[in-house]
Every structure is written in C-alpha cells, then in structure tokens.
Amino acid sequence: MFKSILVISDLHIPYHHQDSFEFLKAIKKEFKPDFIVNIGDLLDFHAINMHTHDPDLYSAGHELDKSKEYIKQLESIFPQMVEVESNHSSLVYRRALKYGMSRQFLKDYGDFLGTKKWKWVDDLTLKMSNGQKCFFTHGRSADVLKVSQTMGMSAVQGHYHTKFVISYWANPNNLFFAMNVGCLASSKHMAFAYAKNFRTRFIMGSAVIINGIPRLLPMVLNSSGRWIKKIV
C-alpha cells in the first residue's frame, strides 16, 4: 500500500515546459512520494506523428537525441518510476506495425532511452494506504468519472491537456474519486500549434494522492510564462 503517490502526465519531451522539472523537484521535496507514476505521453515523437508534423522542428533522430538528454535529467530526479502506455509514447511501435515490422526488431523503451529502473505498463492499479484501489490510465474516456465507475474504483488519467479536475461518486460501500491531471507540455511550442485557436487552453500541473485523498497541484506561471516557484 502506498501513502504518497505522485502522478505526472503529458510532458511531451522534448517539448515540455522549461520549468517542469524544477516544479517536479519541488513536489518531490514537499510530499516525499513513495510511488511515482507517469500516466503517458512522456515523449512527444512529433517527427513520426501519424498526423501532420512541422518540418521546421527536429528530425526523428535529433528529437530522440534531445529527448534522451532530458530523460537523463528526469531519471536523476526519479530513479524509479512506472510509465503508462499512451498514444504518443507508442508511436514507434504503431509505426512499425503499420509497415509490417515484427516487434522482435525493436528495442524496449528502457533500452533505447537508457533508463535503468523505469518500468512500462499498459495500465496500472495500485492499492492506496486507505485500503482502496486506484486505476491509472492515459486516456480511456473524455469523462474520467465514467472510467472510475466502469472500473469500480477511483481513477486517474491524463491525455486531455485542458482538463484539471477532481470529481467524486459513491456507492453504498465507498466514496471514489476521478481525476484528470492536465499536462506539463509547453503550449507555446510549435509542436502544439494545432491548439493555438482552442477556446480552452492547456492547464499545467501534476497531482498527489496522500492517504487515498487526491490533490491537484497547478504549475502557476507568471506574466512571462515562467513558474512562480511555489507549490499552491
């Protein structure tokens, strides 16, 4: 059972916000998590996206090289972390499948990123210190409350960069939460130009679950777009 769970989502490395790692360091210092889970889109893989990509951004090789530099920094902060499968992070394997390449020809994530103790899973269920279970996924539904009700336990997901919310529901036996944790991607970057005219904008932040109680942690920015260096 885990007392303090840190939930990270949608960094989209190397197009993450420049202060996101410092923000995560501050969360680690304050809440001392005993379990860290990244619920998807750790990497962006913009250059091999199935959709239109910007030819003025990194090539696939250069993007991976830059990503690996940042991954080393992140691994130094969190030597052990569980990574949940997601639409962006799975692009290498989906591309290979599209062109009929056996997975036997491909390296595992840990091999090509050089991480030592990170683990990749499809989805994750953890037992919290209050005895209840929580389901972690990247993005099963636009309504995370439905995910929680379908699974019959509390649920946390990312994927939806503009959603940063906790909802609750109950049955005769228990109270459950359903949480969307936003993202840590830089909405100003050209990789996210598709969202520049969206009416709803990216919400940057992460979350912790302390003794079974969820708490959202927004990464508040100043007028210059930099983190205010304070957990709120």
pLDDT of 99 strictly over 70: no
In three-state secondary structure terms, 47 is helix
pLDDT of 87 strictly over 60: no
Higher-pLDDT residue of 90, 225: 225
Percent over 70 (pLDDT), the chain: 78
Full-model pTM: 0.88
Higher-pLDDT residue of 200, 75: 75
Residue 168 identity (one-letter amino acid)? Y
Q: What is the mean pLDDT of residues 203-223?
A: 97
Q: Output the average pLDDT for the chain.
A: 86
Cα separation, 112 vs 118, in Å, equals: 12
Residue 40 pLDDT: 85
Cα separation, 154 vs 178, in Å, equals: 6
Q: What is the pLDDT of residues 124-161, one digit of tens each?
A: 999 999 999 999 999 888 899 999 999 999 999 998 88
**In the chain, domain spans:** 4-124+182-218
The first and second tokens of residue 167, run together, are: 């909802």
Residue 155 pLDDT: 98
